[in-house]
Amino acid sequence: MLFDIITIFPNFFDSPLKIGVIGRAIEAGILEIRTVDLRDFTTDRHRTTDDRPFGGGEGMIMKPEPIYKAINSLKGGPQGARVILLSPQGKVLDQALAAELARCQRLILVCGRYEGVDERIREHCVDLELSIGDYVLSGGEAAALVLIEVVSRLIFGVLGCKSSAERDSFTDGLLKFPQYTRPRDFIGWKVPEILLSGDHKKVAEWRRRQSLELTLKRRPELLHKAQLDTEDLKYLRSLGWKEA
């Protein structure tokens, strides 16, 4: 999969893209990630990418011309590319959307800065406006890194174990069950006996119930969209959960 990142700070990505699963996937040729310096598409000697907003107001707005030229210069590549603007006004990224994006051959990520981009770019050049949460960052670069990692984990070969992504939190709408490792007893804090039983069916049942309990306790709003069967609903009701 190919990611193109349009940014005024290409060096921002140098270190993060060299480590962990993303770095290994790039080395293996599973991912290709290129940074595109937006200033290369300016025409003035100051390489200006922003200007004051019409009508007055605080801050600066990213100019449309450089972004338009940068996007068009990239669209000549592989077909099926989607142009994504990282913005706090966008659709909030979740696991379902990440799975949809993981099926693309190529994503072009536009990193906004300052008070945002000229509205004409949003209206005419962008396929999807995306946010990573209901808060504001100084720019889209950090959000682009989050998007790349979330999507890349779902691409075959990026993770060493395919089932790791399949069992992540939010994959079925629930938080992941608690995990334990050695030692069995740590300063008196013991691993639940069920996990030491060797009974895979009972372990699976325990983990499912733990996921349901954890989600009900910490993120109950997720239950209304989660993939729940009859047994799940029965157990949740026994815990006091009431369907809306």
> Which residues are part of the catalytic machinery?
88, 115, 153, 168
Alpha helices in 83-161 (DSSP H): 95-101, 119-124, 141-152
Cα(126)–Cα(85) distance, integer angstroms = 6
The answer to whether 49 and 39 are in contact (CB under 8 A) is: yes
Alpha helices in 75-175 (DSSP H): 95-101, 119-124, 141-152, 162-166
At 147, list the tokens.
């998007």
Buried b (16+ CB within 10 A) or exposed e, 117-153: bbeebbeebbeebbbbeeeebebbbebbbebbbbbbb
Q: Which helix (H) or strand (E) holds 72?
A: helix 64-74
Alpha helices in 75-130 (DSSP H): 95-101, 119-124
Q: Could you give the C-alpha distances from 32 to 23, 28, 40, 152, in angstroms and in order?
A: 10, 10, 21, 11
